[in-house]
Copies of this chain bind each other. A is one copy, B any other.
Amino acid sequence: MPGMNPIDSALLTDLYQLTMLQTYFERGMRETAVFELFVRRLPPQRNFLIAAGLEQALDYLENLHFADDELRWLAECGHFGRGFIDELAALRFTGDVDAMPEGTVFFPEEPILRIVAPLPEAQFVETRLVNLLNFQTMIASKAARCVLAAPGRLLVDFGLRRAHGAEAGLLAARAAAIAGFAGTSVVLAGPRFGIPLYGTMAHSYVQAHDDEVAAFADFARTQSGPIVLLIDTYDTEAAAAKVARLAMRLRREGLRVDGVRLDSGDLADHARKVRRILDDAGHPEITIFASGNLDEWRLRALVSGGAPIDGFGVGTELVTSADYPSLDCAYKLQEYAGAARRKRSEGKATWPGRKQVYRLRGDGRGPAHDVLTLCEDAHAGEALLRPAMRAARRLAPRASIALMQARTAAGLAALPGRLRALEKAEPYEVRVADGLRHLAAEIDARTAAATAKDLAD
Which residues of A are in contact with B by a Cβ distance under 8 Å? 1-2, 4-9, 11-20, 22-24, 26-27, 29, 33, 35, 59, 69-70, 73, 77-81, 119, 123, 126-128, 130-132, 134-135, 158, 160-172, 185-188, 190-192, 197-205, 207-208, 210-213, 218-219, 222-225, 232-235, 238, 241-242, 263-265, 316, 320-322, 325-327, 329, 332-333, 336, 339, 341-348, 447, 450-451, 454-455
Chain B minimum-CB-distance residue to A352: B207
Verify B2–A119 contact, CB threshold 8 A.
Answer: no
Contacts beyond the supplied A4-B188, A15-B199, A73-B191: 6 A-B pairs with Cβ under 8 Å: A11-B190, A12-B169, A13-B187, A162-B327, A164-B167, A212-B454
**Given A6-B7, A131-B161, A162-B134, A202-B123 contact (CB < 8 Å):** yes
- Which one, B12, B161, B264, B316, contacts A348 given CB within 8 A? B264
Q: Given the complex, which residues of B lie within 8 Å of A123, measured CB to CB?
A: 202, 204-205, 208
Verify A7–B4 contact, CB threshold 8 A.
Answer: no
What are 7 A-B contacts defined by CB distance under 8 Å? A12-B188, A16-B205, A134-B161, A167-B168, A204-B332, A207-B342, A265-B346
Q: Given the complex, which residues of B lie within 8 Å of A2, measured CB to CB?
A: 59, 192
Per the bound structure, the CA–CA distance linking A158 and B127 in Å amounts to: 11
* Copies assembled: 2
Verify B223–A6 contact, CB threshold 8 A.
Answer: no
Q: Given the complex, which residues of B lie within 8 Å of A218, measured CB to CB?
A: 23, 27
Chain B minimum-CB-distance residue to A1: B191
Q: Closest approach, in angstroms, between the C-beta of A442 and any C-beta of chain B?
A: 15
Q: Closest approach, in angstroms, between the C-beta of A154 and any C-beta of chain B?
A: 15
Per the bound structure, the CA–CA distance linking A29 and B208 in Å amounts to: 9
Q: Given the complex, which residues of B lie within 8 Å of A224, measured CB to CB?
A: 78-81
Chain B minimum-CB-distance residue to A165: B167
Chain B minimum-CB-distance residue to A206: B343
Q: Closest approach, in angstroms, between the C-beta of A167 and any C-beta of chain B?
A: 3
Verify A165–B162 contact, CB threshold 8 A.
Answer: no
Q: Given the complex, which residues of B lie within 8 Å of A131, measured CB to CB?
A: 160-163, 165-166, 169
Q: Given the complex, which residues of B lie within 8 Å of A169, measured CB to CB?
A: 6, 12, 131
- Which one, B14, B134, B348, contacts A185 given CB within 8 A? B14
Per the bound structure, the CA–CA distance linking A326 and B447 in Å amounts to: 44
Chain B minimum-CB-distance residue to A342: B207
- Which one, B134, B158, B343, contacts A203 given CB within 8 A? B343
**Given A167-B6, A234-B344, A160-B202 contact (CB < 8 Å):** no
Verify A27–B235 contact, CB threshold 8 A.
Answer: no
Q: Given the complex, which residues of B lie within 8 Å of A158, measured CB to CB?
A: 14
Per the bound structure, the CA–CA distance linking A190 and B163 in Å amounts to: 24
Chain B minimum-CB-distance residue to A16: B199
Q: Given the complex, which residues of B lie within 8 Å of A160, measured CB to CB?
A: 12-14, 127, 131
Chain B minimum-CB-distance residue to A327: B162
Q: Given the complex, which residues of B lie within 8 Å of A219, measured CB to CB?
A: 19-20, 23
Verify B222–A23 contact, CB threshold 8 A.
Answer: yes
- Which one, B69, B225, B345, contacts A19 given CB within 8 A? B225
Per the bound structure, the CA–CA distance linking A225 and B18 in Å amounts to: 11
Per the bound structure, the CA–CA distance linking A78 and B333 in Å amounts to: 49
Q: Closest approach, in angstroms, between the C-beta of A262 and any C-beta of chain B?
A: 10
Verify A345–B223 contact, CB threshold 8 A.
Answer: no
Verify B162–A130 contact, CB threshold 8 A.
Answer: yes
**Given A14-B185, A447-B234, A166-B7 contact (CB < 8 Å):** yes
Chain B minimum-CB-distance residue to A60: B166
**Given A190-B77, A202-B123, A164-B166 contact (CB < 8 Å):** no
Per the bound structure, the CA–CA distance linking A163 and B24 in Å amounts to: 27
Per the bound structure, the CA–CA distance linking A347 and B270 in Å amounts to: 14
